[in-house]
Amino acid sequence: MAALGRRRANRRYARELREQLGVRGETAAAAAPRSHVSFDLASADESFRFRAELTFWVRWAGSDPHHPAAVDIAAAGVMRRAEQISVRYRITECERLRAELNVELSNWYQVSSTPVYAQGHCLSVDADPEFVAAVQEQEHASRRTAVMGWQEQARARQREQMRSLILDPLRATAWWLSDHQDQPESAVNVAQKFTELRDMLRPEDSLDSPGTVLDEFLTTTDDDAVRMWTIRQLRKVFEQHQRDDLTVRLGVIEQ
């Protein structure tokens, strides 16, 4: 009889402890009513939606008798919480969304300010295969466009670099010699060719431009601090626009 009394007391103590802490985990899910819902979820792709299936459990924490709309309240809370997550994912990421929903819905949480608590488990997330294929193609096209843009930028930088070398035989010869260090005896002929090319292709003299004005300022100013400050600002501009060729030429001016 004493052992029976202790077991009853232990069960009563465990029940009171669960009530104080709130029903949690598998015990709570097993004890709470379970429902199933299938619904659409918004995605990060405008106009395209997921289709999700969830099982959820409901717990009523009010002092009054169980509310007849508790399941509806829980369903609304689960769907609202699921959509807060789904809008971060594209419809090509169904499995990632399903896993993330299971993380977010695994713990009991209160639905708004109601006495209803809900816990969910996502069974599946799908999207229309035709829409998925269209989004995948759009992603591929965006990647191709990005790569083509990078390639064109690289070609444009290379063209501009070659242009600046043609107009500067000294730099052009140094560039050639860095790749042909075993042929120093040919450097003079190469320099002559670059000089001839420069003279033939040099733009005709024109009126003042920002470049000529800046050049005159840098070469005539007596204040070295102002001169170096101006060069540093130019270096920042060239680096921001990835003009390494102009940055290198500034190094010569600084010397």
Task: Name residues of the chain where pLDDT drops below 70.
Answer: 1-32, 65-66, 203-209, 211-212, 251-255
pLDDT at 122: 95
pLDDT at 254: 59
pLDDT digits (tens, 9 = 90+) for 204-238: 655 556 766 777 777 777 777 888 888 888 888 88
Residue 181 DSSP code: T
pLDDT at 21: 39
C-alpha–C-alpha distance, residues 255 and 211, integer Å: 19
Please, are residues 90 and 44 in contact by the beta-carbon 8 Å criterion? Answer: yes
- List, in order, residues 6 or more apart from 33 with CB less than 8 Å away: 57, 58, 70, 71
Quick one: three-class SS letters along 92-121?
CCHHHHHHHHHHHCCCCEECCCCCEEEEEE
Mean pLDDT of the chain: 80
pLDDT at 251: 66
pLDDT at 178: 87
pLDDT at 220: 72
Question: Domain segments of the chain: what residues?
Answer: 32-127, 206-255
pLDDT at 83: 94
Which CATH number is associated with domain 32-127? Answer: 3.30.479.30
pLDDT at 18: 46
pLDDT at 226: 82
> Dihedral through CA 93, CA 94, CA 96, CA 102, nearest 10?
150
Please, are residues 48 and 91 in contact by the beta-carbon 8 Å criterion? Answer: yes
